[in-house]
Amino acid sequence: GFDEASTTSLGEESTVDTETHTHSDECYSIELICTKAEHVHTSECFPDKTADVETVGDWLKTIENVTLSDSVPGNIVEIAKTQLGYTESQLNYQYDESGNKKGYTRYGEWYGNPYGEWNAMFVSFCLKYSDVNDSDKLVSAGAEAMRQLWITNELYSDSKEHNAKVGELVFVDENNDSLSESVAIISEITDDEIKIIIGDYNNAVEEITLD
């Protein structure tokens, strides 16, 4: 804006003549505050906080055809299967502190963190609606935190010491740091493969085969 002759500090007399000064283009500057590369704004630049929002009644409709049985593992799988294909919202989102786009999900809404990482919250949702005893003591928003809860409640076994069964959870260490980065539900076991249902996989609930 002003040149050196027009600036002042506290206690000094300004040399600006406020009676005769007329603002010109030199008095204004444009500061770029957007940290993204230059781009043309589209509808994706403006989240719709009302899009895809669900209530308890909305997500209960997705599981209303499941009849719970005496088999808790079977119930967990059946609830999980009703969620296959669900994707996080592309219209309703926010950016986290690292600048990552996080879409709204029903699992986050249910847990109380609508825009959070939802891999573990999806599994927690399935446990809750499968009527797992004391599920509140076993659910978490993070896979490693959930694993620790299962260890505390003496429900966790190392895979080297336990034969996996359908309906059980599998905690996955994705980068060999002895911590679980994700958790999933075992949906099928054959002689050749194990299938799991996992949330927040490509921003969706998917059934995949473990390598």
Q: What is the pLDDT of residues 180-207, one digit of tens each?
A: 999 999 999 998 899 999 999 999 999 9
Please determine, for residue 65, whether its predicted confidence score (pLDDT) is greater than 50.
yes
Of 208, 203, 207, 206, which is closest to residue 117 (Cα–Cα)?
Answer: 203
pLDDT at 206: 98
pLDDT in tens, 99-154: 899 999 999 999 999 999 999 999 999 999 999 988 999 999 999 999 999 999 99
CA–CA distance, 60 with 58 (Å, rounded to integer): 6
Model confidence at 5: pLDDT above 60: no
Q: How far is CA 123 from CA 16, 27, 35, 94, in A?
A: 66, 58, 35, 23
Q: Would you say the pTM of this structure is higher than 0.85?
A: no
pLDDT band at 158 (very low <50, low <70, confident <90, very high): confident
CB-facing half-sphere around the CA of 53: CA atoms within 13 A: 9
Q: Report d(CA 83, CA 86) in Å as an integer.
A: 6
Question: Tell me: the pLDDT tens digits for 11-60?
Answer: 444 444 445 667 666 666 545 444 566 666 655 567 889 999 999 999 99
3-class state of residue 201 by DSSP? strand
- C-alpha 197/C-alpha 50 separation (Å) is 28
